[in-house]
Structure 1
């Protein structure tokens, strides 16, 4: 089977059999297209060797970000695992010994930067729309895709809660800050009715009545950051990470942050967030067995 045909079959498998979202399928497909370009589309999958796969990944180092390389490792491994299961084709990736590169922690921003951003929005329809998006992202820690897909029935305005269906169809309830719901209510009551051109349940729609896109939010934040003199630019992921870090530094339980962010495994939360060194040293001083022994000796 030609590599190009195998990728088409895998894409169909992800969409139909696995029920993956279009965004996820698109990400896998993009990675595998680069893989196919390196090996050439006419390559027969039965002839792909471990050496060729290693050459492909070695060619990426120094060009791609660690996070991109790690994602591609998952994409290529999943693809060959599919071929082995569905077509009984040898999976050379089982012997792949390319260690995952460490992903640098996402940048966080000082709370004063976030406040400057929120204070910069005026009372125009467009700014009220933008302020509501930023407020919801930062107050709830939603992924940008979850924010774009947020529907009216998921917002409990009186209870100040969001009901989110995240990755793997896992549901979580997220409490939101009063100020965030105030910004959301103002947009919902004064702006959204003007912009709605057709029946839609999406919360965030643009002036043409269409569901807001991820790219729109990224571009808006980049423009507003530049306008406010915030460097580097704030992005949705940084807002999410800043919230998580602030909660942990404020003493929030790690499992609460895990639930809020929608992480299936707490180890993801541990990698995704970091604790400042002062707090870490304080914890060691207070809780380490050696510190307790020292206290006992001084009694």
Structure 2
């Protein structure tokens, strides 16, 4: 194996085949493809500097040595975990395709990632966010302010990822049944209920959408200023901008509204499995972090209010 700016043809061919595997067979996101291929390329650089030039000569010691070097260079546990996953994915694929006889990554463990509690809005701040957005839309009197209200209401009501929201079409919203059909990670479709305030905001935007749409808009629900399907970066900027108007609110992006939706559902008595399904989490363990957020708030309230806390 070798790496760097001038990869040998053999290594370039292996990396290209691995990229095709990720894109075609695994159907992972473009971000994951770039990260995993980049990690394997960095590994090849490290191994070449250590004198290991052939894929079949790589050992578990080599792999641990590379991760150890990354840790000494200041890589976070989350980054190390992703790189360990990339290594295991690569060598599992290489073993199946006959590029190596033995998978050296089988005993490679990932560092346990820290799970900090996500910052989130309380319910009064979420209400203030919507009030401020409506006030700003009324002041602007244009269609984009109405669009922004619909985006904020729908993000908070449904807990959609920003990519999922940007991918919605006009047919994705079933106002009669108060549902949104979402295409999530791995092209898995799910149905998410939404409340009347979000549906009313979306309906108001749909009435103004023709003022922005162009022949190239297609069926995209949310449009940018020039009529194309809205870009996730635009959504992130507008969420940050509107949250900046709410006194005491943390500086969050769209994912912060997803956190708030999940936390407030659990605080209101929703069961964990229901929240998992609405968020589109493959594992219940991913959803369980929100129980920690809720428990933390309960403890804070107990300490503040109970006479014998």
Q: Please report the TM-score for the alignment, with normalisation by the length of structure 1.
A: 0.82
Offset of 1:272 from its aligned partner? 5.0
Partner residue, 2:151: 133
Partner residue, 1:73: 84
Q: Does the CA-based 8 Å contact 1:249-1:276 persist in structure 2?
A: no
Offset of 1:260 from its aligned partner? 0.7
1:169 aligns with 2:197: no
Partner residue, 1:248: 266
Partner residue, 2:109: 97
Partner residue, 2:26: 18
Does the C-alpha gap of structure 1 residues 221 and 44 become closer, same or farther in structure 2, counting only changes over 3 Å? farther
Q: Aligned pair count?
A: 281
Q: Secondary structure at the match of 1:204?
A: coil
1:234 aligns with 2:249: no
Comparing 140-149 with 70-79, greater Cα deviation is found at 70-79
Q: 1:193 aligns with which of 189, 200, 210?
A: 210
Partner residue, 2:304: none
Offset of 1:199 from its aligned partner? 4.4
Q: Secondary structure at the match of 1:203?
A: coil
Offset of 1:52 from its aligned partner? 3.0
* Aligned pairs (5 A) from 1:1-299: 2-39=10-47, 43-61=53-71, 63-89=74-100, 90-121=102-133, 122-123=136-137, 124-190=142-208, 192-197=209-214, 198-228=216-246, 230=248, 232-274=250-292, 275-277=294-296
Q: Give RMSD over aligned pairs.
A: 2.8
Does the C-alpha gap of structure 1 residues 263 and 109 become closer, same or farther in structure 2, counting only changes over 3 Å? same
Q: Secondary structure at the match of 1:174?
A: strand
Does the C-alpha gap of structure 1 residues 187 and 253 become closer, same or farther in structure 2, counting only changes over 3 Å? same
Q: Does the CA-based 8 Å contact 1:31-1:72 persist in structure 2?
A: yes
Q: Which runs of 5+ in 2 are unaligned?
A: 2-9, 301-309
Q: Does the CA-based 8 Å contact 2:120-2:250 persist in structure 1?
A: no
Offset of 1:193 from its aligned partner? 1.1
Q: Which runs of 5+ in 1 are unaligned?
A: 282-299
Q: Does the CA-based 8 Å contact 1:15-1:25 persist in structure 2?
A: yes
Offset of 1:30 from its aligned partner? 4.2
- Looking at structure 2, the residues matched to 221 and 16 of structure 1 have their Cα atoms a distance apart, in angstroms, of 33
Q: Does the CA-based 8 Å contact 1:244-1:273 persist in structure 2?
A: no
Q: Does the CA-based 8 Å contact 2:224-2:231 persist in structure 1?
A: no
Q: Does the CA-based 8 Å contact 1:249-1:279 persist in structure 2?
A: no
- Looking at structure 1, the residues matched to 157 and 70 of structure 2 have their Cα atoms a distance apart, in angstroms, of 37
- Looking at structure 2, the residues matched to 30 and 110 of structure 1 have their Cα atoms a distance apart, in angstroms, of 39
- Looking at structure 2, the residues matched to 47 and 229 of structure 1 have their Cα atoms a distance apart, in angstroms, of 59
Q: Please report the TM-score for the alignment, with normalisation by the length of structure 2.
A: 0.80
Q: Does the CA-based 8 Å contact 2:27-2:186 persist in structure 1?
A: no
- Looking at structure 2, the residues matched to 151 and 56 of structure 1 have their Cα atoms a distance apart, in angstroms, of 45
- Looking at structure 1, the residues matched to 161 and 64 of structure 2 have their Cα atoms a distance apart, in angstroms, of 33
